[in-house]
Amino acid sequence: MNTTVDERTPDHDEIVRVVQCYVEGFQGRRDKLEEAFHEDAWILALDAAGGFSKDLISDRFERWAASHQPVHGRVIQVTQAGEVASVLLGFDNTETPADSWVDVLALIKLDGRWQITHKSAVHSTRAAWAAPA
């Protein structure tokens, strides 16, 4: 099934809810990060200068939760094919827009529950049209 902007994927609301847990985790809510991500999820990222990093996401939970970053999750696109999905997400810093990111999140529905299994991220300066306006 091809999904256009006007159509919603079957589990759209639940997928977006899980992604929102990830965003809320940056407000001191490690429990929300643990709910959103599979324990074996990885992040691959390019910063503004082109520096590459990769980590097990759970290794970042403590730092992310303690950051209290003023972020807003801007869901750009949700794609679902059965029990696999992807979300293109603007991870916009509302205080410092120049410190925003664009993520591609991969999700799997495992044991009836959506979980993020991978995050590819680029600094917003490398995200072309998907960067915050």
Q: Mapping DSSP to helix (H, G, I), strand (E, B) and coil, where does residue 84 land?
A: strand
pLDDT tens, residue by residue, 62-90: 999 999 989 999 999 999 999 999 999 99
One-character DSSP codes across 18-71: HHHHHHHGGGT-HHHHHHHEEEEEEEEEE-TT--EEEEEGGGGHHHHHHH---E
Q: Mapping DSSP to helix (H, G, I), strand (E, B) and coil, where does residue 124 land?
A: helix
The mean pLDDT of 2-29, rounded to a whole number, is: 85
Read off the pLDDT band of 133 (50, 70, 90): confident
List the chain domain ranges.
10-126
> To the nearest whole number, what is the mean pLDDT of the chain?
93
The CA distances from residue 39 to 16, 58, 82, 93, 117, in Å, are: 19, 7, 22, 26, 8
Q: pTM higher than 0.75 for the full model?
A: yes
Name the CATH topology of 10-126: Nuclear Transport Factor 2; Chain: A, (3.10.450)
Q: Is the pLDDT of residue 20 over 90?
A: yes
